[in-house]
Structure 1
Amino acid sequence: MLRNEVLTTWTTEQGLPQNFVTSLAQTSDGFLWVGTMNGLVRFDGVHFRGFSQDGPPELQGFIRALVKDGGDGLWIVTASGLFHYERHHFVPIFFEQRSRYRIETLARSNDGELWLYFEDRLERTHADKLVAASLPDDVHRISDMTESSDGSLWIADRENIFRMRGRATVAKYKLPDCHLVHADRFGDVWAGDGHHLFHFEGTGFTQVKNPGLGNFVSVTIDSHHRLWMASGGLHGLSRRSGDELETLTEADGLASNDVRTILEDRNGDFWLGTIAGLERLHQGIFTNYSTLDKVAGNRSQTESIFEQKDGSIWAGTLEGGVMRWKAGHWQRFDKAQGLLPGQVRGFIENGSIPAIAISDYGIFEQRAGRFTKMPLIPHGYVSTPVISGDGSVWFRIDNRGLFRLKDGKLTELGSKDGLSGTPLSSLTVDREGTLWAGDATGLQRWNGQRFERALSTNEPVHCVAWPKGGIAVGTRNGILLRNGTNGAGRMLTQNEGLPGNLVLDILSDDQNNLWIVTASAIARITREMWTAYADGSISRVDPEIFTETDGLRSRYVLPLNQITAIRAHDGRLWFATIKGPAVIDPRLPDVRPAQAVVDSIVVDDLHHLAGDLTVGPGRHRITFAYTSPATVAPEQTRFHYRLTGWDHDWVDAGTSREVSYTGLPPGRYRFEVVAFNREGGSSRLPAQAQIQLQPFFWQTRWFLLLATLVVMGAVVEITRRFTRRRAERLSLRFQERAAERERIAHQIHDTVIQDLIGATLQLELIGFEVTDRPEASRGMLVTLAERMRETIVRSRNMVSNLHSTAVAQYSLVEVLQHSEAEFRSGPLPIFDLICTGEPREVHPLVRDEVYRICREALANSFRHANAAYVSVEVHFLPDMLEVEISDDGKGMTKELLQHGRPGHFGLRGMQAHAQRIGATLLTESEPGQGTNVILRVKTYNSFWRRNGKRKIRSGNNTAS
């Protein structure tokens, strides 16, 4: 019935821009579009989305009409023009270069285009342009239009109904005052004047008798061929199916009797546009018998539910007696039949009428048409009577204990029978007829002789269900789930997704899904989900929660009733809610899978339409808003999302419909989101949006590559220079060693070897003459011994020279300055060292050879010249080193300059050293005029860079 359907209302309090709803449409993606007196919104079942930030300003005013196009878009008629919404964009439709014109009436063509009438012209849309069409010659001002399934255009002008095909008028039908015409999906055409409804019968229009409301403004034929009429005044809504006529008004919960528009969505729900809000009529999956209060005298609060073997459903109320549902009708039993007023605590089979347990009064059975109290039942608060497989009646009395009635004998059971001694909280019989008793610590099972402990819960047990292959135990703090016959089970609480810890009842349906009644909800957990949780495969569950939109008048039941839900023999499930029994077929109808939609992208409070987006450089806060079109229980739609390039895996967003990212590095990202409906159905096709974050120039790849190359070049250059400097140092050390070897070779060759050769020759002469001329031989031996002593002295000097040679850590000037101490043996001569120019590093070979030349010259000045003054002048010229050594001693003759002293190699050695480094050595001296030695040599930078390597090799060859 129309009044039994779920009616939900949305107003400005829920986000509607204005309560006066003017038009409704649903696009192919499932979104509902609502036009109001104050703007356009899109509805996803949870939120209304406006377009003030990403739409034209006309959408914030009066919306005349909304029409779905032939694709995924929408036609929007405003107070001053026409827009086509497609792919997230609103395209204005121009007429003669104008965007502003007032459309008087319109009709949707079969291909999704529009027929428009304004300014006494008929236009048709095509490719977002307006194309002129012809009007019948005698048509007056058009009041309504519609296109039928055969392609005919029907036009009403308050005097006639015109039928056009193409540009020709096919027929004209006289219908005075008819201003409304409507073609339904079945090919029928309807016309009306607001008080009378007419139906086209093939040759003309015939008045429909008793169509519904006496006043109406719109007509709709639904998918079940039912006629809907909206009054637009004081009569609300009517629906006619065959000869059955139903109405819905404010008295039935309608927001307003002034209904303007009706829309049937793709789920079969009906949306009503009224002047007081948006409403939906929904056929819920639950059938709720809230009308029971009329039978039970306004005391329909159900306390327990029971099915008799004959299929009758019994509902116990609070002080309203019991009700029986049979053959489609409710029948009441109360004081007139002998039942005392009280809380009905349960039922048991007892012939054609069940026995009934009523709170303080006991258990009643019907005899001779009246209910009387069963004998032997002790006084007290009777709870939860059950019958076990052997026919025994088991019940408990609060504060007394457990009782068993069998074969007319009443037995009280206690600790002697295996009970724990703690108060019992429930009695249940499983599918095999075995009795289970719940207490404060778990479950005990009756084995036919006594009770034995079966399962520990550490919580009072309220209810038990036995789905195939497992057990579910409801407690005060969740459900103990066990899959299989072994193991202790696993607790499921609110922390793991259960909708409330206090579990009042549990049922398993034919598919072994669990239906759970908690203190705040009725929910379902699928077999796959609860077994996976029991086995430890998942850490939480996502149950389906059923609400008033599913047909429930209330999702609440009274706590601790213990018989609040049953599974009937036909598989349906009955629940005793506080607003009457509710029944559901657990084989739920297929629900369209949820499809996610990326709604918008907000960058630093700047709103953008969903789609590919490029964002400039900087640190941004990026928010992705997403949703899913209206479905059943949209508030339970869940979402998974990920941002590829940032998130490594899918993120469970729950029911949240937006996510923000802050400080993303530059790059290209793709946002993906998937929606899941309450039943877990999903299209699995993610909605996507591409976004590119542009970098600053220093964050670009070319800049990073260039910087990397620069750094690498710098490292290479530093390494090269360091290696070169180290190689130069090693080369200098090697050249020092080579120069030292060459000098030693020359000195040994020029002094020691020559002396040894001379001594050898002299010894040979002495050997020839020792016999013939002994005296002469004796003199020659004396001379030879003297010569050998000189050789020893020169060898010692050479060794001394080895120890006094320059080393790397001293410059040439420093070693020359220190040489004074080597030769000085008295106060004279006076020594003076002068250095001009900028001192610089000299090649080690040059330095050592210059030092040796200077040392030899200084040795002559200090030891042989008897000089009073000796000076050394070192001149560092740009590419030349000049050293001048002068003394005021006795000087040397020309012969001495040319041949040297007999047995001495000083002058010849100085020339040899000068030749090795390519130097010029000039010695100036006259007897009594002193001596002046001038040495000039090219420096390292200009000469030794080219010749140093060759010279070293020459020295090595000499040394070898």
Structure 2
Amino acid sequence: MNRPKKEIKLLTIVLFVFYLLAGIPLVGMEDDFWASREFNPKNFTVSTWNNTNGIPHNTIYALEKDQMGYTWLATEEGLTRFDGSSTVIFEPTNSPELIETSYYNFFPVPGKGIWATGDFSLVLLNKTIKKVINCHSITASSWLTSVSEDRNGDVWIGTKEGKIFRYHDGSFSPLSLWKNLGKDPISSLLAINDLLLIGTDSGLFIYDKNKENLERLPQSPNNVKNIFQSGKDILFGAIGSGLWKMESDRTVTLVTKEKELAGIDYRSLRSDKEERIWAGTEKGEILLIEDGHVKHLNFPELAENPIRKLFIDGNHFFVGTQSKGLMVFKESLIQKFEHPLLSNKNIRPIFQANDESVWIGTRSSGVFRISEGKTTVFDASKGMVHEGILSLYGDETNMYVGTREGLYRIGLKSNTITEDYHLSQAFPRYQINTITRDNTGKIWFSAAHGGVYYLDKSNQIQAINLPDDLKKVNFISSYLLKNGDLVFGSESYGHIIIRNGIVVQRKALNLVPGENIIYTFYEDSEGDLWLGTQGGLMLEKNGKISLIRKEHGLIANGIYSITKDNLGQLWISSNFGIQKFPESELSRFKNQGEEDFFLASETFNDKHGMSNLETNSRVSPASFIMSNGQIWIPTIEGISIIQPESPDFDTGTPKIKNRTFLRVFVDFRSKIGSFSAFYLKI
């Protein structure tokens, strides 16, 4: 059921395809996603990459994105490059420039790439291996533990035995001021401006390269494990105390106590572009630290699985784990409606009433009204003879509910059943298949094998005069045409058009019996009528019938609903998921014909968040566009919610910003709060 919409010109996807074919990764951009959303792990999909499908080892020691947008993973069995859909492994047998197999730390250098440390070598990565530095001369009795690069291009290296070296013009030189300050391993290095920050078990040290001065911050805690930058701030994690900040005057302040960061792995601490702090824990929690508050995000797939490294890319979590490889969590394109009574039910018609309340019919539990976070259930306890709901429609003051045994009217203000038409007017307890409203405000409905009716100004049921051979036809769908005519679709007998209460036209379908079912209608912007049938998407034009079928790219031959969003795109539901395409594809089909046509579209399924691919048919309406633009589609296991204006659904020309191109979709071909909010802001 559609509300008024605006047409916009669709952008092309040529550049998107170019990037894909050229092997350029499709990567995400940071946004305000986490600042504005309630976290719900059920509305995420996860892709796992491990030693069975492209990663050489299941323990991820480091995780970072290079300047080209590729994600790199450090493991004990090689370096792995990930582009969102496939991996490339770099190790000595296929990359002879490498002198070892195991790598443990990364340090990103803006505009240059990523420095990776092994035990005794440094590797610069940016799409591929750019440089390898043999560090045997400084690791004869030790190994590398940390690395950083300063603004002059000098590389600073820390070792397990507590030494620090500068790599400049192809040679190593020790930091002479450091040699007498103990044997603590160098846990972390950060070169910033003319300073080198050094993290050790003995605390945080600062080496001023200009002044040739080295000092330990007197207020620094011990056991400093990770120094990093967040915007202009310098932060560090210290085992036993928590997360700290170094102020401009080189004093330090405690940001978050360790007791609030239970189980944190300090090596995983990092900042995003929005200056939010993220970390992983030994129990598989993701921590979001913002404005001194800690939010705990729990994905079931990560439970009890230590997180070693992570980064956030837009609304994606890239998580490097201790034993499960790389896990990529992405907010589902298709959201699930979360409700304690409805989340997993077989949902039938959905309707949003004039007062913005949402009405949800079920297969066998009655109809639910949700308004301002409150739920009212209309079922047998409220007087309904049958709790199976097939049709819903509302006017300014009432909701009309069609069940398997009769028609009911519910007052929006009274929130009670105000009329059972069997009791008030002795109307038979027909199965009420579809309800709609004409341009004059009359409510119309069809009864299974029992005719077509309307309510007159006195709320009395009036039957229209049908030809004898149509009186027992099962009319299961209805639609209001732009000229004010009503069209009713049937099983096996085509459809009829009603004007001013009179059948003015009847049309049979040239389909085999099993496909001769009309589930839905859609009148396009050119005034042509399309029928969603069991035999495909049918066009009736100039006395000729043509079909878009599965062989033309349709998701399935059975089309249950057709909904136009506020951006001019069409969404159709089926037994195999949801499909989206621009309305211009219908015009192209008219001009091109069936023979050489293939539908340019996208399909959505469980990989995109649908709890069940089977959407419901023979209900009215079988999809609904809400006042906020969301499309709600009933399935046999809950409601799938689409937000068409979400940038994740944008397949137009990519916006190039900060060397990034598009959000990553883990599988291109298939394309990858609280109850009271339930994603519909009413």
Class of the TM-score when normalised by the shorter of the 2 chains: 0.7 to 0.9
Residue 512 of structure 1 corresponds to 568
Amino acid at match of 1:194: I
Residue 476 of structure 2 corresponds to 425
Q: Tell me whether 1:501 sits opposite 2:557 in the alignment.
A: yes
Output the CA distance in 1 between the equivalents of 2:536 and 2:304: 44
8 A contact 1:238–1:247 mirrored in 2: yes
Output the CA distance in 2 between the equivalents of 1:244 and 1:558: 43
Residue 78 of structure 2 corresponds to 39
Output the CA distance in 2 between the equivalents of 1:225 and 1:499: 42
* Residue among 129, 142, 152 paired with 2:195: 152
Output the CA distance in 2 between the equivalents of 1:178 and 1:340: 70
Output the CA distance in 2 between the equivalents of 1:425 and 1:530: 24
Deviation at 1:239, TM superposition (A): 1.8
List aligned pairs for 1:511-660, cutoff 5 A.
Answer: 511-536=567-592, 539-589=597-647, 590=650, 631-636=663-668
Deviation at 1:159, TM superposition (A): 2.3
Once the two structures are superposed, residues 218-254 of structure 1 have per-residue CA deviations (whole angstroms, 9 ceiling, x without a partner) of 22222333332211x225222244476432335x332
TM-score by length of 2: 0.77
Amino acid at match of 2:461: L
SS at match of 1:14: coil
8 A contact 1:385–1:394 mirrored in 2: yes
Deviation at 1:348, TM superposition (A): 1.6
Query: Bigger relative contact order, structure 1 or 2, given CA contacts below 8 A and separation 6+?
Result: 2
Output the CA distance in 2 between the equivalents of 1:183 and 1:35: 19
SS at match of 1:491: strand
More strand by share: 2
Residue 496 of structure 2 corresponds to 444
Residue 24 of structure 1 corresponds to 63
* Residue among 326, 330, 333 paired with 2:377: 333
Residue 462 of structure 1 corresponds to 519
Residue 123 of structure 1 corresponds to 165
Residue 307 of structure 1 corresponds to 352
* Residue among 193, 198, 216 paired with 2:264: 216
Deviation at 1:330, TM superposition (A): 5.2
Residue 197 of structure 1 corresponds to 243
Residues 1:36 and 1:556: Cα distance change in structure 2 (over 3 Å): farther
List aligned pairs for 1:42-121, cutoff 5 A.
Answer: 42-51=81-90, 54-56=94-96, 61-71=101-111, 73-86=113-126, 88-89=128-129, 91-95=131-135, 102-107=143-148, 109=150, 114-118=155-159, 120-121=162-163
8 A contact 2:277–2:288 mirrored in 1: yes
Residue 174 of structure 1 corresponds to 219
Residue 327 of structure 2 corresponds to 279
Once the two structures are superposed, residues 355-397 of structure 1 have per-residue CA deviations (whole angstroms, 9 ceiling, x without a partner) of 3223235434248543352333421322222222223322222
Output the CA distance in 2 between the equivalents of 1:87 and 1:129: 26
Amino acid at match of 1:274: T
Once the two structures are superposed, residues 413-446 of structure 1 have per-residue CA deviations (whole angstroms, 9 ceiling, x without a partner) of 4643895974323112245653211123544221
Output the CA distance in 2 between the equivalents of 1:72 and 1:452: 72
TM-score by length of 1: 0.56
Residues 1:193 and 1:99: Cα distance change in structure 2 (over 3 Å): closer
Deviation at 1:534, TM superposition (A): 2.6
* Residue among 530, 533, 551 paired with 1:475: 533
Output the CA distance in 1 between the equivalents of 2:618 and 2:504: 24
SS at match of 2:614: coil
Output the CA distance in 2 between the equivalents of 1:573 and 1:159: 58
SS at match of 1:533: helix
8 A contact 1:70–1:112 mirrored in 2: no
| More divergent stretch after superposition (27-36 vs 425-434) | 425-434
Q: How many residue pairs align between the two structures?
A: 599
Residue 207 of structure 1 corresponds to 254
Residues 1:113 and 1:582: Cα distance change in structure 2 (over 3 Å): farther
Output the CA distance in 1 between the equivalents of 2:409 and 2:385: 9
Residues 1:464 and 1:93: Cα distance change in structure 2 (over 3 Å): same
Residue 391 of structure 1 corresponds to 441
Output the CA distance in 1 between the equivalents of 2:625 and 2:587: 21
Residues 1:480 and 1:219: Cα distance change in structure 2 (over 3 Å): same
Deviation at 1:216, TM superposition (A): 0.9
Amino acid at match of 1:21: I
8 A contact 1:71–1:112 mirrored in 2: no
8 A contact 2:487–2:496 mirrored in 1: yes
8 A contact 1:39–1:59 mirrored in 2: no
8 A contact 1:68–1:112 mirrored in 2: no
| More divergent stretch after superposition (139-148 vs 191-200) | 139-148
Output the CA distance in 2 between the equivalents of 1:489 and 1:165: 80
Residue 141 of structure 1 corresponds to 184
Identity %: 18
Deviation at 1:285, TM superposition (A): 4.0
Q: Tell me whether 1:322 sits opposite 2:367 in the alignment.
A: yes
Deviation at 1:524, TM superposition (A): 0.8
Amino acid at match of 2:438: S
Deviation at 1:18, TM superposition (A): 2.6
SS at match of 1:34: strand
Once the two structures are superposed, residues 601-660 of structure 1 have per-residue CA deviations (whole angstroms, 9 ceiling, x without a partner) of xxxxxxxxxxxxxxxxxxxxxxxxxxx9994434235xxxxxxxxxxxxxxxxx9xxxxx
8 A contact 1:70–1:113 mirrored in 2: no
8 A contact 2:495–2:506 mirrored in 1: yes
Gaps of 5+ in 2: 1-37, 511-515, 673-682
Deviation at 1:351, TM superposition (A): 4.8
Output the CA distance in 1 between the equivalents of 2:331 and 2:169: 39
Output the CA distance in 2 between the equivalents of 1:72 and 1:337: 69
Rg larger in structure:
1
Deviation at 1:93, TM superposition (A): 0.7
Once the two structures are superposed, residues 755-792 of structure 1 have per-residue CA deviations (whole angstroms, 9 ceiling, x without a partner) of xxxxxxxxxxxxxxxxxxxxxxxxxxxxxxxxxxxxxx
Deviation at 1:87, TM superposition (A): 6.2
8 A contact 1:145–1:153 mirrored in 2: no
8 A contact 2:433–2:618 mirrored in 1: no
Output the CA distance in 1 between the equivalents of 2:152 and 2:652: 25
| More divergent stretch after superposition (472-481 vs 236-245) | 236-245
| More divergent stretch after superposition (274-283 vs 137-146) | 137-146
Residue 505 of structure 2 corresponds to 453
Q: Tell me whether 1:2 sits opposite 2:39 in the alignment.
A: yes
| More divergent stretch after superposition (505-514 vs 164-173) | 164-173
Deviation at 1:270, TM superposition (A): 2.0
Gaps of 5+ in 1: 596-627, 638-654, 656-676, 679-960
SS at match of 2:554: coil
